[in-house]
Amino acid sequence: MNRTALLIVAASLAGAAGLQAQTTNPLIGEMKRAYTQYKGYWTKVAASMPEENYSFKPVPEIRSFGEMVAHVADHQTGFCSSVTGPRKAGDAATKKTKADLVAALAASYAECDKAWDGITDANAAEMVGQRSKLGTLIVDVAHSEEEYGYISVYFRLKNMVPPSSDRSGGR
């Protein structure tokens, strides 16, 4: 077999392997893409807000920026851990510094990564409490999306561009 033919066969096999990986769990794959997108947004939001703005509240009646990060981290820890075993309570609400809250958010994503890595189209309907595994993870993603919408306003009020709107190539 000549070198060109060998390269064509190798490229075809690589493409087929990639297609197989994409279609093994198509239902889960679609939702995991949304999870991954918002994981990126929240990670960037938490890292890019200056520490002095972690106490910022647009109005006195709502959570501060840091409290929002903690809320998302604790929600994720609870929901995602329930998919892989006993539900764990997060402790992000007890954290006060940016470094501690960023670490708590990262820990919650580690919990969610385990849940997403362990779910398949075949086991998605298994019940964990009142919801299926997939339903539980969908609720968590929806919550993350909703809270991200709120936190984007905090960014705008501080004259910052939220990651989802950043067209500068920093996404």
Of all helices (H) and strands (E), which one includes residue 127? strand 127-128
Confidence check: pLDDT of 25 > 90: no
Q: What is the mean pLDDT of the chain?
A: 88
Phi, psi angle pair for 87, to nearest 5°: -65, 130
Reported confidence tier of residue 160, pLDDT bands at 50, 70, 90 = very high
pLDDT at 10 over 80: no
Reported for 61-65, long-range contacts at CB under 8 A and 24+ positions apart, including other chains, are: 65/151, 65/154
What predicted TM-score, i.e. pTM, was given to this entire model? Answer: 0.83
For the segment 122-138, the average pLDDT, to the nearest whole number, is: 95
Query: Residue 18: what pLDDT?
Result: 45
pLDDT number for residue 15: 44
For residue 18, how many C-alpha atoms fall within 13 Å in the half-sphere facing its CB? 6
Residue 166 is predicted with a pLDDT of: 87
Q: pLDDT tens-digit profile of 39-96?
A: 999 999 999 999 999 999 999 999 999 999 999 999 999 999 999 999 999 999 999 9
Q: How far apart are CA 6 and CA 67, in angstroms?
A: 57
Is the pLDDT score of 21 beyond 50? no
Contacts of 123 (CB under 8 A, 6+ apart): 133
pLDDT, residue 23, reads 59
Cα–Cα dist 156/49, whole Å: 11
The per-residue pLDDT for range 118-128, each reduced to its tens digit, is 999 999 999 99
Q: Supply the pLDDT for residue 27.
A: 83
